Amino acid sequence: MHFTAKAKSTLEYLLRLDVPESAFIDVDTDGRVAAQCATQAAVREFRAAFGAGVVWQKAYAKDMEWWTYDATLPNGIAVHVYACREAPPTCKAIVEEIEVEEKVPVEWVTKVVKKERVRWDCSGEEVQA
């Protein structure tokens, strides 16, 4: 097995931290970290390992139906947390009924139909699903 210098540096850094065992972690050849955390508790525990000075960006991946968190650490390491299906405690789902135009398979006529859209309210910042 061959590791690049960036991957080795990131692995050495992670070994010095108290990274929780609940996270499944990958390090790519560019030294970027991807961590799979199944619950919000696991996300909080993983993020806490990097200290309070790190700014995390959360987003909802509609196609995968999970939450992601991204940050760049002060030492330049990019961290991506994914696969958390629980909504953050500061977010609540806003279910709306909207009208969209689409083709339906009855002689392929276009008509307005009602659909359901989910948005997330995260205390002042809105995340589009």
Same domain, 71 and 48: yes
Same domain, 62 and 103: no
Same domain, 78 and 26: yes
pLDDT for the residue 128: 60
Among candidate residues 63, 129, 56, 48, the one with its CA nearest the CA of residue 95: 129
pLDDT, one tens digit per residue, over 68-93 is 999 999 999 999 999 999 999 999 98
Cβ contact 15:3 at 8 Å: no
Total number of domains in the chain: 2
pLDDT beyond 90 at 125: no
Question: Percentage of residues in the chain with pLDDT exceeding 90?
Answer: 64
Question: Is 110 inside a domain boundary?
Answer: yes
SS3 35: strand
Same domain, 118 and 70: no
Cβ contact 110:64 at 8 Å: no
Same domain, 57 and 80: yes
What are the distances in angstroms from CA 4 to CA 7, 27, 80, 127?
5, 11, 19, 36
